[in-house]
Amino acid sequence: RTHKIAVIPGDGIGTEVLAAGLEALEALASHTGSFKLVTEHFPWSSDYYLKHGHYIPEGGLAKLKTFDAIFFGAVGSQQVPDHVSLWGLRLPICQGFDQYANVRPARVLPGVKSPLVNGKEIDWVVIRENSEGEYAGMGGRSHRGLPIEVGTEVAVFTRTGVERIHRFAFELARKRPRKHLTLVTKSNAQRFGMVLWDEVFFEVAKDYPDVKTDRELVDAMTTRMVLKPASIDVMVATNLHADILSDLAAALSGSLGIAPTANLNPERTFPSMFEPIHGSAFDITGKGIANPTATFWTAAMMLEHLGEESAAKTLMAAIEKATASGVHTPDLGGKARTADVTQAVCDAIRAT
């Protein structure tokens, strides 16, 4: 089958890791012969913004809508404030295409060292509400520069938005061997939106008697992730909370350079977007040492979404063979370069 992929490398190492990801996908397509990718590159980045005054040109989203999936690198530049770049490129796509379910698996791959002694116990999926909450864009500033200046950042939670992410989380948890879902909120200190989250969670839970549940406050969840990793299977949390917890999950599984994510529109009305969770990494941009593993794993998630389960499994096995063989970039304590890891994964694909 042929799939149409929109490629948005963006900024910094985003361009480096996406090039690596496409190389692995090409190797996989030609070796397995089971699928074909037709790609189109979109140059939307911070350089593009500085030249044109916008990240996404007029009609850009309508163009993207015609694709089966979006393969995204990262956005963020030292020349543009982060809130401008994030709201200029990534959020309009996530929100415009109602990609409300952000899925972030975390696992310690073979040959990778977790900072935890019991890191091997990590086998989690963090589910992040991706359309509202703290990143709804509500709020404002008034009285700029005056002593009475106010800035508000309003978290917006709708029953529809909360219910659909919980339902998504239960569906996903149900498909995993342990069938366990942890609700993460902060409903002791935050009395409205977070209490709504809790209530709707336990209403939805009634439809999933086969899924075991428990709940944790977000601060306590950070310690549980570090101290009792085996007690966690799937967790569901708000946009902000899961943003933070998933970076922690990535670090505990060895590196931010490994962690993948899918921004899903589960109803498939719109294309979903796949990206490594890391950003554009100014400190290593252009050095050729970015870890492409997160992007490979992201590519595997994209294939799975496109119905190419067997190719996704082959890619995942190749990634694990490469990490196990010790071809590691500096973030994992090694000396390998992006190109070496890419080569190792492509070789492993061809040896399948």
Q: Does 257 bind ligand NAI (CB under 6 A)?
A: yes
Which segments within 11-95 are labelled E, that is strand?
A: 36-41, 69-74
Using CA atoms, how far apart are residues 71 and 272, in angstroms rounded to an integer? 9
Q: Is the dihedral of CA 181, 308, 22, 88 positive or negative?
A: negative
Q: Is 243 a catalytic residue?
A: yes
Reported as type and span, the H/E element at residue 261 is strand 260-264
Question: Which tokens hold the place of 118?
Answer: 């019991």
What track of x and - describes contact with ligand NAI for positions 217 through 256 (by CB under 6 A)?
---------------------------------------x
Q: Is 347 a catalytic residue?
A: no
Instruction: Indicate the residue among 233 and 331 with the shorter CB distance to ligand NAI.
Output: 331
256 torsion bin: left (phi>0), alpha (psi -120 to 50), beta (else): alpha
What track of x and - describes contact with ligand NAI for positions 63 through 82 (by CB under 6 A)?
-----------xxx-----x
Using CA atoms, how far apart are residues 107 and 238, in angstroms rounded to an integer? 21
Q: Does 278 bind ligand NAI (CB under 6 A)?
A: yes
- Exactly one of 48, 55, 135, 208 is catalytic; name it: 135
Question: Which tokens hold the place of 105?
Answer: 């698996």
Q: Does 299 bind ligand NAI (CB under 6 A)?
A: no
- Exactly one of 11, 68, 243, 331 is catalytic; name it: 243
User: Which of ligand NAI, Mg ion, none has residue 331 at its interface (CB below 5 to 8 Å by kind)?
Assistant: ligand NAI
Return the residues of window 207-246 that contact Mg ion according to CB under 5 A: 243
Nearest to 236 by CA among 124, 350, 89, 330: 124
User: Which of ligand NAI, Mg ion, none has residue 243 at its interface (CB below 5 to 8 Å by kind)?
Assistant: Mg ion
User: Which of ligand NAI, Mg ion, none has residue 76 at its interface (CB below 5 to 8 Å by kind)?
Assistant: ligand NAI
Q: Are 259 and 277 in contact (CB under 8 A)?
A: yes
3-state secondary structure of 311: helix
Using CA atoms, how far apart are residues 207 and 225, in angstroms rounded to an integer? 27
What track of x and - describes contact with Mg ion for positions 239 through 278 (by CB under 5 A)?
----x-----------------------------------
Cβ of residue 153: shortest distance to ligand NAI, in angstroms?
17
Using CA atoms, how far apart are residues 341 and 337, in angstroms rounded to an integer? 7
User: Which of ligand NAI, Mg ion, none has residue 318 at its interface (CB below 5 to 8 Å by kind)?
Assistant: none
Side-chain half-sphere exposure of 263, counting CA atoms within 13 A? 28
Q: Which residues bind ligand NAI (CB under 6 A)?
A: 13, 17, 74-76, 82, 86, 90, 256-257, 275, 278-284, 290-291, 294, 329, 331
Residues catalogued as catalytic: 135, 186, 219, 243, 247
Q: Which residues bind Mg ion (CB under 5 A)?
A: 243
